[in-house]
Amino acid sequence: MPKIIGSSLAEHRERTRSALFSALSHLMRERGFDAVSLADIAAEAGIGRTAVYNHFPDKESLLLAFIEHETATYVRALEESLAEVEEPVEQLRVYVREQLKLERSYHVAPGPDLREVISNDALGHLREHVGQVEQLLRKILSRAIDAGDIPSQHLDAVVQLVHACLSGRILPRSEPARGEFIRATELFVLRAVGARAAEPMRAVEVA
């Protein structure tokens, strides 16, 4: 019988999933999703290969669970950050910064794009998770329009354009280049949506 990690089966399951997620993230950064096997992930996590099948039937299902976990964690943190500011334009600034600072291993992994190596069903699930984040941006833009801070615009198009601008960006690691990059992108997005408060280049604290 496999050794139980933690004080209960529920804790064991959670710790096992966490170990597998960390292993998958690390290996994807090193090799890319297509070059990693479920056996590789199990070995990296220090978990018996047969035990992995008690949690995930295949590599793709593990990937989807990992992305769902990352998305849920990120959305909660982003919602907390947005709740700290009231004005819609300021919320848009926060949104831009948090998106830029986010580093998803499945976005920066070497090798083919994930969309080229997963099934159509899995691709549909990925789009659903992206939609959770897009919905937050839509709410911010809708509030800004209602407040008269930005002009009325086609939100379906604008949400996609803003995300295209923010996704996949590689930030400089050191200051002041990192802060300057974030401020420049923030200003670009604010100008793109027609924000009246786009001009001030306020200093931002970058984690």
Q: What is the pLDDT of residue 91?
A: 96
Q: What is the pLDDT of residue 178?
A: 92
Matching residue, tokens 């997005």 = 189
- Structure tokens belonging to residue 61: 């299902």
- Structure tokens belonging to residue 104: 């998803």
Write out pLDDT tens, residues 65-121.
888 888 888 889 999 999 999 999 999 999 999 988 876 545 544 455 666 777 788
Cβ atoms of residues 206 and 182 within 8 Å: yes
**Domain 1-57 is classified in which CATH homologous superfamily?**
Homeodomain-like (1.10.10.60)
Q: What is the pLDDT of residue 189?
A: 96
**Residues of the chain under the 50 pLDDT cut:** 1, 105, 108-110, 201-207
Q: What is the CATH architecture assignment of 59-207? A: Orthogonal Bundle (1.10)
What are the sequence ranges of the domains in the chain? 1-57, 59-207
Cβ atoms of residues 192 and 165 within 8 Å: yes
Q: What is the pLDDT of residue 206?
A: 47
From residue 40, how far is each of 36, 48, 99, 115, 134 by CA, in Å? 6, 11, 30, 21, 33
Q: What is the pLDDT of residue 7?
A: 62
Q: What is the pLDDT of residue 185?
A: 94
Look at the pTM and tell me if it is higher than 0.85: no
Q: What is the pLDDT of residue 108?
A: 45
Q: What is the pLDDT of residue 5?
A: 55
Matching residue, tokens 């992108």 = 185
